[in-house]
Amino acid sequence: MSSAGISFGGLASGLDTKAIITALVAVERRPINALEGKKTSFNRQKTLFGDLGGLLDKLTTAAKALKTTTDFLSFKATSDDESVLKATASNTAVPGTYTARVEQLAQAEIRAGIGQASASATLTGFTGAGLEFDITVGGNPKTIVVTENASLNSIAAAINAEDDRNDIGVRAEVVDTGGSGATRYQLVLSAKETGSAGQFSVLPSTTLPPGSQIDQVFSGLAGAAVTDAQDARIRLSPNTAGTSGIVVTRSSNGITDLWPGISVDLLSVPSPNKNITVTVTNDTEAAAKKVQDFVDAYNKIVDFATAQNALDANGKASAPLFGDSTLRSLRSNLRGVVGGQVDDTGNTAFQLLTQVGVTSDRDGKLTLDKSKLTTALTTDTSAVTKLFTGSSKGIATKLIAQLDVYTDSTDGLLKSRADTFGRQIKDTQSRIDAAETRLTTYQKQLEVKYSNLESLLAKLQSQGSSVNNIGR
């Protein structure tokens, strides 16, 4: 017998039976290896469809930002003096020019007690616990109880604790004025809201000894305010001299209801006073960014499809989804939407994406000419808006409907493919498990067979030796 390729292990047969068994098992494992490769392919394809689903979700989000007029068409508000008034416009604003004169800013009420020499010392006139007083905001009194000896610090702490619990609308602090003597520390109360909405009063529940320190503190708080509560006052549409127009007041310097869709922040009252002009225009920059986001999301899908249909250096397909029918139909359908005509924009000059600066190269990738889009928006805002947002034929509307065919979580094509891959993976694993069981049995049978062979050869060799010894 030839010994080429066989190592001798010193057994009765002189053969390396372990190597023989390993080689035979390896031959039988080839179908399992093929199944493992198939399972890996299924897993890879399922993962890629998951990646594709993520890209389609991002494109859907970008398309939704273009779906309605209020989504697509943004406005910006510009004040001619932002040191006096700043303005921002929402999507419900109306383009135009608005004029106002800021005559008074809203301010919060501030009250202070007469200063004392110490912030922590018990105030004369009330040395025990249980001092009670009311703080009234908007006609609603709130009772404050000082549960320790009354000092400036303990009174401030009791007020702030009650505000933390029940939002009474007033905060307290003890201010070190930096002076010396009997009036260095002052208890200061401030309204949390500006204007008349935050106006408050302070009144002890019991009569305090006249002239005592506790009486001085509360007499100061009940007296004239350090800063009076004051509403903002604005004159809308005034004449040049600022003597006509409509006077409105608000409790806050941040106002959202002077003009539709426009919010303003009042910052100062100029001296001499003057009219402030707010101009609301289409925010073409914001619209262009939404279109660019759409273009970028679309191109990522094109790149994905291109990568899956590429050939290697030998001209062979190597990508797992090469020629996949779902991917092919998706790419075709999306291209049909972005290249389609929207014939109800009201202007034949703006019925195609190419007419507003969105063009496609031979690979299907889109490019945005921002200046062309801006010009189109300026030329005919309504038509360009309908090109994207039309309720039945708009690009965004049709694209979202097309994407839903693939991404619907119940019966979308991607879910169907993922479910199919899941079943294939499970079925393949079952076949692998069954084959592994059969292979284990086969290996054990080989081990028993070769073990028996070695045992038989050993007996024969022993008998042969005995025969030889008889003949001697």
Q: Which pLDDT score is estimated for 465?
A: 64
Model confidence band, residue 61 (pLDDT cutoffs 50, 70, 90): very high
Whether 378 and 284 have beta carbons less than 8 Å apart is answered as yes
pLDDT score for 189: 97
Would you state the pLDDT for residue 1?
Answer: 37
Same domain? 198 vs 261: no
Q: How confident is the model at residue 129, as a pLDDT?
A: 72
3-state SS assignment for residue 219: helix
Which CATH number goes with the domain that contains 314?
1.20.1330
* pLDDT tens-digit map of 139-175: 899 999 998 889 999 999 999 999 999 999 999 999 9
Q: Is 176 a member of any domain?
A: yes
**At residue 387, what is the residue type?**
L
More confident residue, 72 or 116: 116
Q: Which of 209-218, 312-321, 437-446 has the lowest mean pLDDT?
A: 312-321
Residue 289 and residue 425 share a domain = yes
Percent of the chain with pLDDT over 70: 94
For range 67-77, the mean pLDDT: 86
Residues 322 and 447 in one domain: yes
467 within some domain: no
Q: How many helices (H) and strands (E) does the chain have?
A: 10, 16
Domain boundary pick from 282, 302, 322? 282
Q: How confident is the model at residue 45 (pLDDT cuts 50, 70, 90)?
A: confident
Domain count, the chain: 3
Instruction: For residues 135 and 88, state if they share a domain.
Output: no
Q: What is the band of 136 on the pLDDT scale with cuts at 50, 70, 90? A: very high
In terms of domains, do 337 and 248 share one? Answer: no
Q: Are residues 294 and 377 in the same domain?
A: yes
Domain assignment present for residue 465? The answer is no
Reported for 210-214, long-range contacts at CB under 8 A and 24+ positions apart, including other chains, are 212/123, 212/124, 212/125, 212/126, 213/116, 213/123, 213/124, 213/125, 214/123, 214/124, 214/125, 214/126, 214/131, 214/150
Write down how long the chain is: 472
Residue 461 lies in a domain: no
Instruction: Write down the H helix ranges in 16-117.
Output: 17-64, 69-72
- Residues 330, 265, single domain; the answer is no
Q: Are 11 and 39 in the same domain?
A: yes
How far is residue 432's CA from residue 438's CA, in Å, rounded to a whole number? 10
pLDDT in the model for residue 12: 54
Q: Report how far apart, in Å, the C-alpha atoms of 325 and of each of 321, 335, 400 are.
A: 9, 15, 21
pTM score of the predicted model? 0.67
Supply the range of the domain harboring residue 257: 75-106+231-282
pLDDT over 50 at 260, yes or no: yes
Q: What does residue 291 show for φ and ψ, rounded to 5 degrees?
A: -65, -40
57 shares its domain with 129: no
In a domain, 270, yes or no: yes
Mean pLDDT of the chain: 88
pLDDT tens, position by position, 371-401:
999 999 989 988 999 999 877 789 999 999 9
